[in-house]
Amino acid sequence: MASAYLETEKGTLRINDISLIWGGLFDYDVMNTPWSPPHKSHRIGENVDVDDMTTEGKKVTKIQLDKLIKEQGFNITVLDEKNHLHLTFP
């Protein structure tokens, strides 16, 4: 999906909170901010967070991702979390 986004929108998605190859915790708070328990669904490969800005500084919207997902035939649900987009893979 990130490759399709790069090709169509000319932007590089910034990925965060994705599970490790063999599962397990992949949450590390480098900013020392108030932190909630780890994203359980992220640990088993069902979810990934995408930043709301590309590495080029372009805004990423739910509308853009929903359109791309439909056009490419992906089975992904997008939830707008205000400062990032939460993607779920069934």
Q: Could you tell me the two tokens for 6? A: 């790069």
Over residues 14-29, the pLDDT tens digits come to 988 776 665 555 555 5
Identify the pLDDT of residue 36. Answer: 54
The pTM score is: 0.76
Over residues 60-84, the pLDDT tens digits come to 999 999 999 999 999 999 999 888 9
Over residues 27-60, the pLDDT tens digits come to 555 555 555 555 666 667 788 889 999 999 999 9
